[in-house]
Structure 1
Amino acid sequence: MRILHTSDWHIGRTFHGSPTLDALRQVLAALVAQVREHGVDVVIVAGDVFDQATPAAECYTLLTGALHDIREAGARVVVTSGNHDSAARLGFQSTFLAQAGVHVATDPTALDVPITIDDEHGPVHFYGIPYLEPTIVRRLWPDTPLRSQADTMAHAMRLVGADRAVRGGRSVAIAHCFAADVEPTPGVEREIRQGTLDVVPLAAFDGPDYVALGHIHGRNTLSDRVRYAGAPLHYSFGEQSKPRGSWLVDLDAEGLAFVRWLDLPVPRRLVTISGSLDELLEGDQFADAVDAWVCAQYTDATPQPDPMRRLRARFPHCATVEHRPPHRDADERSGYAARVGGEERSDTDLVDAFLTHVRAGEGPTPAEAELVASIVREREGAETLA
């Protein structure tokens, strides 16, 4: 059996305010072409199908079209819900969809009831584990302490293991969680982990021939059997260096045979450029970023006026601008109050320290210093007369 492991489609997500539906439609069309080219039997979507619990109408249209095209290409589909999805909405008419070869697993009480698909070697049992929020699902298993994602996923896998022991045969588990030894993408996968409390140990996934994980947006291999496919699009500049694609998984009569990565196209690449604002606006070294999504980091000592408008004149897809003045040492990174406190300072010294702080180490110019000194003298003279 040949399986294509995908996850985290996040249909409806925006990229710094720009819609991504057209780009995702293009990428999913390439995924369908891979299904057809490689003779894929089953496509897995391991959670976060939608980006929001209440998707817009056009999001449903995109999903319906993608599922139709995958089925037309000859593969069945197994979908689970992630923490971004509404399980109830995603699972609507799941019984009806199963008759069409699209299996949607959103019911935690049925996570140990597999979707069984046969090939020439016999059955393969797919255990779709929806995202399990401990505070919500612990009422389903009142006799089992479920304080964290780790507890909850370990319990779910025990239930799966018990069913596997009875059924026998080959099996695939699908889950949406943080696993050990995986670092999240800054600003992206933040909702279901606090510190290290909800990291699921790799040992929890022992047993199945393959474990298809979702939630992390970058490709990760935790073992030959346990992998993250990541998202099909880049949804953050923190992901820009991570490839987009899916795992092509082959099961033979004995179990896992081989796994191969298939790249997906990147409709518009992401780049981070850095330099003074004038360099960014005029430098030839940034010419190849004109058609890319751009994160611009300008290094001028002081904030510059209207940088986004000016940068978009050269980079139409500039998505974000960051002021990154030159490196400051530990003292310079401390707060202004901490830097000037603890000793008696003259008014002139305080203004000098303030300007040095906000300008990343550059103090007042001679003209500014003279202006400040004259103002201080005037104020001191007025106070003397008073």
Structure 2
Amino acid sequence: MRILHTSDWHLGRSFHREGMLTHQAAFADHLLEVVEAERVDLVVVAGDVYDRALPHVDAVRLADDILVRLARSRARVVVSSGNHDSAQRLGFSSRLIDASGVFIRADPAGVGTPVLLDDEHGPVAVHALPYLDPHAVADPWGLPRRSHEAALTEAMRRVHADLDTRFGTRSVVLAHAFVNGAQPSDSERDISVGGVSMVPTSVFDGIDYVALGHLHGRHTLTERARYSGSPLAYSFSEADHRKGSWLVDLGPQGEVRAEFLDAPVPRPLARLTGTLEELLTDARHRRHESSWVQATLTDEVRPLQAMDRLRRRFPHALVLGFSTPAPGLGAAPATRTSGRTDHDIASEFVRELRGSAPTEDERALLDAAVDACCDDRDLDRAVAERAVASR
């Protein structure tokens, strides 16, 4: 059986306020092309279809389009819910949808009941574990402690109890969790419970293939347990990730052979460091002129209008930072104001914040602003006279 393992679509997510739906739709096109070109039998989606429990209508429309197109394809589809999904919303009408060849599993009560598929070598039991919140399942399942390890251990006990009744059946498990041996990025939502979020790989012993979701970087924990990662980068910490899906061949005896298929990169990410002048003139950065850019400036004096100037070369610059703290911040306020005029305090504030004194034009503007805030005795007298006249 040929399996395409993907996860963490996060439909509806933005990237530093930049909409991603167009890029997510392009990944969907790629996914359908892979299904046909590689003659995929089964697509598994290991959680986080949406980015939020109440997704935007456009994200729901895109998910509907993807699943309808997959249902019409040569492949069958198994989807499990992630920690970003609403299990009730994602799993709505799942029993009805099963008839289309798309199997959505979001209810912990169904853990231990597989989707049963067949190929020329016999049956394959696909156990799609929804995201298991330890607080939600601890009491119903009688867990000894509220942790992800306890929840998944009990879930896998149920899986093995089912598999023990199916001699000779190959097994696939979908799970959305933080499993030991993988590195997180900045864009996953923390799922720790009392500081206990890690799950050992041994929880999944005895399974032919484990399709993991939650972490956004691809990882091979063992030859039988892998993260596909997200199909798109959702933080600059993922700038060096390869994005895509695992193409897995599950042999007649449960043998596994996996190949990573790269997804299209609609716009690459770049993290640049240097002075503003270096970033604007260095020829090495020419290849990043169409990238999403995170820039860290090393100038001793913070340049004026740094982001506007940066975007003249890098129009998709999204994040600007500085390698040194703003000078003067943290000094005792009394030492900065004692014996000074309001005009001097305003000018000094600019100098300490930026690292250089205001220009003559800026000083004139600051002086005018300060004067506009001072008491105007003539105006005060006129206001008082109108108040008396109105009585």
TM-score by length of 1: 0.83
| Cα RMSD (Å) | 2.7
Question: Gapped runs of 5+ residues in structure 1?
Answer: 327-331, 341-346, 348-354, 366-386
TM-score, normalised with respect to structure 2 = 0.82
Partner of 1:126: 126
Deviation at 1:190, TM superposition (A): 3.5
Distance (Å, rounded) in 2 between the aligned partners of 1:319 and 1:124: 46
Q: Is the partner of 2:165 in helix, strand or coil?
A: helix
Deviations 1:256-299 (A, max 9, x none): 23111111111111011111012222332222111111111111
CA distance in 2, matches of 1:22, 1:281: 29
Secondary structure at the counterpart of residue 167 of structure 1: coil
Q: What letter matches 1:247 in structure 2? A: W
Letter in 1 for 2:35: V
* Partner residue in 2 for 1:116: 116
Matched, 1:192 2:191: yes
Cα–Cα, structure 1 residues 359 and 55, in superposed 2: closer, same or farther, change >3 Å?
closer
How far apart are the structure 2 equivalents of 1:194 and 1:71?
A: 36
- Over 3 Å counting, the alpha-carbon distance change for 1:56 and 1:190 in structure 2 is closer
Given that 1:78 and 1:102 are in contact with CA atoms closer than 8 Å, whether structure 2 keeps it comes out as: yes
| SS at 2:245 equivalent | strand
Q: Which amino acid aligns with 1:193?
A: S
Partner of 1:230: 229
1:281 corresponds to:
280
Whether the aligned pair in 1 keeps the contact of 2:148 and 2:193 (CA below 8 Å) is no
CA–CA distance in 2 between the matches of 1:111 and 1:162? 11
For structure 2, the residue ranges without an aligned partner over 5 or more in a row are 333-337, 339-348, 358-391
* 1-structure distance, mates of 2:81, 2:154: 18
Task: Quote the residue 1:371 is aligned against.
Answer: none
Corresponding residue for 1:381? Answer: none
Distance 1:59 1:235 in 2: 16
Deviation at 1:181, TM superposition (A): 1.6
1:359/1:275 CA distance change after superposition, 3 Å: farther
CA distance in 1, matches of 2:19, 2:264: 18
Aligned length: 344
Give the Cα–Cα distance (whole angstroms) in 2 for the partners of residues 10 and 228 of structure 1.
15
List aligned pairs for 1:253-332, cutoff 5 A. 253-325=252-324
- Corresponding letter in the other structure for 1:99: A
**What CA deviation, in whole Å up to 9, does each residue of 1:143-191 have, x standing for no partner?**
x3231111111111111111111123111010000001212103x1242
Q: Does 1:71 align with 2:75?
A: no
3-state SS of the aligned residue for 1:125? strand
Alignment-derived partner of residue 145 in structure 2: 146
SS in 1 for 2:175: strand
Give the equivalent residue in structure 1 for 2:203.
204
In the other structure, the counterpart of 1:58 is 58
Cα distance, 1:194 vs structure 2: 6.0
Compute the displacement of 1:195 (Å): 8.3
> Matched residues in 1 for 2:255 and 2:7: separation?
20
% same residue: 44
Give the equivalent residue in structure 1 for 2:80: 80
After superposing the two structures, state which structure 1 stretch, 133-142 or 107-116, moved more. Answer: 133-142
Cα distance in 2 for partners of 1:53, 1:12 equals 11
Aligned counterpart, 1:214: 213
Q: Is the 8 A contact 1:27 1:267 kept in 2?
A: no
Contact residue 247 and residue 259 of structure 2 kept, 8 A: yes
Instruction: Please name the residue that 1:368 is paired with.
Output: none
Deviates more, 1:113-122 or 1:191-200: 191-200
What is the CA-CA distance between 1:196 and the residue it aligns to? 5.7
Query: CA–CA distance in 2 between the matches of 1:195 and 1:304?
Result: 44
- Answer yes or no: is the 8 Å Cα contact 2:179–2:201 preserved in 1: yes
Partners of 2:315 and 2:27 in 1: how far apart? 22
Aligned equivalents of 2:233 and 2:16: distance in 1? 12
| C-alpha contact 1:79 1:128 (8 A) present in aligned 2 | yes
How far apart are 1:217 and its partner, in Å? 0.2
**Is the CA contact (8 Å cut-off) linking 2:43 and 2:77 kept in structure 1?**
yes
Kept after mapping to 1: 8 A contact 2:3/2:247: yes
Measure the CA separation in 1 of the matches of 2:193 and 2:16. Answer: 25
Question: 1:80·1:105 contact (CA, 8 Å) conserved in 2?
Answer: yes
Partner letter of residue 54 of structure 2? T
